[in-house]
Amino acid sequence: MSIRKLAISAVLAIAVLVGLVLTLSAVVRHKPGVQTTKGIDSASISRVSSPADVRIQGAQLAIEQHPHQPESFNLLASAYMQKARETNDFGFNARAEAALGRAVEVAPDDYDALKLRAKLFLTYHRFSEALDLARRLQTVRPDDHDVYGMLTDSQVELGDYAGAIDAAQKMVDLRPDSAAYARVSYLRSLYGDTEGAIQAMTVAVKASNPNDPESIAWSRVHLGDELMNADRGAEAEREYDKALLTFPEYPLALAAKARARIRAGDQTKAVELYERAEQRTPLPDIAIALGDLYAKVGRADEAKRQYELVEFIEQNSPASGTYSRQLAMLWADHDVKLDQALTIVQRERSVRQGIFTCDALAWILLKNNRLDEAKKSIEEALRLGTRDARIFYHAGMIYEAMGDKRNASKYLRLAIATNPTFDLLQADRARQTLAAINNPLPNKRIRTA
């Protein structure tokens, strides 16, 4: 048999085999399998949408149907602002702004659009612009309860507490709802009336719109904060837990619960909670707290990274400037970039006279060794009688630096009594300083010996 014959026979044999393999593999491929469930399983489509998501969808439908009515765009803007609150992500505010821009295009003087714009100013910390706009709106509709809310908020931030109280009173009179009681609670808290603040916030929680879990969770977190201030830690934590049940992974509640855990001495859990909160949205205040916590438990590298992150966010995010005071305080607490910190806070102080701005300025002035100005500023911060451990601590440290041991001791004790873990790193310094004031210095004893 020649090679050619072999070739032909082989070619055809292969062809037969290929045919067989093809047929076989076709048979194999079409074996009957597991019966499939037909239709779409609604439970597995996607994760649950938040109320803001639902509102965004609704608003977009409205825009499709009524593209020439400002209401549709207002609806969308407000939904995006709610989404920003739900997620703590500024990005959505930019979308709200874009929607408002369209509303104004359609109707330049639309009242609701302007109202939303004022709200947006508040979230951007542009308080004087918010106040101006709110006053304009007040002249248009003197009985709009929302406007008084904005008047309250902007005046609180700007330091006009008397004006804020008037506006809040008017708001409660017009409609005593959750938003109004929340503001009453906050003002009472600022004036040192913790019990009153707890009462008002309890009402606010009860009066919350059941369809807006984020606002319920927000109220509960603030109620919890007041309870913490009254040293009722267990109750506070219950509120935080409820907030997390109402609105899972709510960053504000995670951070608040972490603070409560720290106060209870459970730093491991606190780390986990802060990390969860940061996982969702890395906000500067969370990063600072987590950094301090890392530093406290000896994870110095990670702490450093958190602090770097704060600087990065503050300098590179679209809402940059919103957290500049936190950044300045971070620098001051760590005794770095003190002149830059001073510039930031002085700039803020020139437009805002709120007690927290005064407190920050006082602390940074102290760090810059400008004691007289620091004292003046801390007195402004203390003017309402607010029970805030941090302000007390700063006051104590300023008096200590000035040699006023009596006041130093008083305020440092107050700080520790109000919240023994108000700040993981600074609280230790408060205790050390207090101990140094009260006890005769050990080196003195050495000298006498």
Partner 1 sequence: MTTILVSKTIRLVLFLLAAALLNCSTSLPVSAHPLGNFTINHFTRIAADQSRIRIRYVIDMAEIPAFQATQAMARNGDGSISNAALNSYLEQAALQYAAGLMVTIDGRTIPLQIVSKTLSMPQGSGGLPTLRVECDFMGETPTSADAPIRRYHFEDKNNPERIGWHEIVIVPASGLKIFDSTAFGSQVTDELKAYPQDMLTAPLDERAADFSLTAGSLPSGVVALRTRDGRPADTARDRFAELINVPVVTPFVALLGLLIAAGLGALHAFSPGHGKTVVGAYLVGSKGTARHAAFLGLTVTITHTAGVFALGMITLFASQYIVPERIFPVLSFVSGAIVLVIGLTLFIRRLRGVTGRSTGAHTHDGVHPHDDLPTHSHDHSDDTSLTHSHGGVEHSHLPPGADGSAVTWRSLLVLGISGGLLPCPSALIVLLSAIALHRVGYGLLLVVAFSAGLAATLTAIGLIFVFAGRFFKRPVGENRVLRLLPALSALVIACVGAAICYEALVQSGIHLSALIANWSTSSSETGTAPSLTSLGAFAVLGLGLVFGLKHATEVDHVVAVSTIVSEHRNLLRAAVVGGLWGLGHTISLIVVGVIVLALRIAIPVYVSSWLEFGVALMIIGLGVNALVRALRRRSDAHLHRHNHGGVLHEHLHFHEGETEHSGMDVPSHADTHAHPVSRVGFKPLLVGSMHGLAGSGALTVLVLTQIPSAMLGFFYLLVFGIGSIFGMLLMSFLVGLPFALSSRRLGTVHYGLQTIAGALSIAFGFWYAYETGIASGLLRFAL
Give the footprint of partner 1 on residues 396-435 (CB under 8 A).
none
**Choices 83-91, 144-152, 263-271, 438-446 (CB under 8 A): range interacting with partner 1:** 83-91
Query: Is 36 an interacting residue with respect to partner 1 (CB under 8 A)?
Result: yes
Min separation Cβ 158 and partner 1, Å: 27
- Contacts to partner 1 from residues 266-305, by CB under 8 A: 276, 279-282, 301, 305
**Residue 92: C-alpha distances to residues 111, 218, 446 (Å):** 22, 18, 62
Among 91, 163, 176, 192, binds partner 1 (CB under 8 A): 91
Residue with Cβ nearer partner 1 (17 or 245): 17
Measured CA to CA, the distance from residue 289 to residue 424 in angstroms comes to: 8
Among 147, 180, 313, 332, binds partner 1 (CB under 8 A): 313
- Contacts to partner 1 from residues 177-236, by CB under 8 A: none
CA 394 from centre of chain: 23
Residue with Cβ nearer partner 1 (71 or 89): 89
Q: Which amino acid is at 337?
A: K
Query: Is 24 an interacting residue with respect to partner 1 (CB under 8 A)?
Result: yes
Measured CA to CA, the distance from residue 267 to residue 278 in angstroms comes to: 16
Among 23, 128, 340, 432, binds partner 1 (CB under 8 A): 23
Query: Is 105 an interacting residue with respect to partner 1 (CB under 8 A)?
Result: no
**Six-digit token pair at 148?**
């008084």
| Site size with partner 1, rule: CB under 8 A | 79
Residue with Cβ nearer partner 1 (7 or 441): 7
Measured CA to CA, the distance from residue 101 to residue 77 in angstroms comes to: 9
Min separation Cβ 360 and partner 1, Å: 24
Min separation Cβ 179 and partner 1, Å: 25
Measured CA to CA, the distance from residue 198 to residue 195 in angstroms comes to: 5
Among 81, 99, 134, 223, binds partner 1 (CB under 8 A): 99
Min separation Cβ 235 and partner 1, Å: 27
Min separation Cβ 125 and partner 1, Å: 16
- Contacts to partner 1 from residues 121-180, by CB under 8 A: none
- Contacts to partner 1 from residues 44-63, by CB under 8 A: 44-47, 49, 53, 56-57, 60, 63
- Contacts to partner 1 from residues 335-374, by CB under 8 A: none
Among 255, 309, 384, 427, binds partner 1 (CB under 8 A): 309
Among 169, 317, 343, 346, binds partner 1 (CB under 8 A): 317
Among 222, 312, 363, 409, binds partner 1 (CB under 8 A): 312
**251-265 burial string, b = 16+ CB within 10 Å, else e?**
bbbbbbbbbbbbbee
Among 173, 249, 339, 373, binds partner 1 (CB under 8 A): 249
**Choices 31-39, 215-223, 391-399, 439-447 (CB under 8 A): range interacting with partner 1:** 31-39
Among 4, 68, 406, 447, binds partner 1 (CB under 8 A): 4
Query: Is 245 an interacting residue with respect to partner 1 (CB under 8 A)?
Result: no
Query: Is 34 an interacting residue with respect to partner 1 (CB under 8 A)?
Result: yes
Min separation Cβ 90 and partner 1, Å: 6
Residue with Cβ nearer partner 1 (89 or 266): 89
Measured CA to CA, the distance from residue 262 to residue 268 in angstroms comes to: 9
Min separation Cβ 252 and partner 1, Å: 14
Among 65, 139, 211, 316, binds partner 1 (CB under 8 A): 316
Min separation Cβ 99 and partner 1, Å: 6
Among 98, 104, 351, 402, binds partner 1 (CB under 8 A): 98
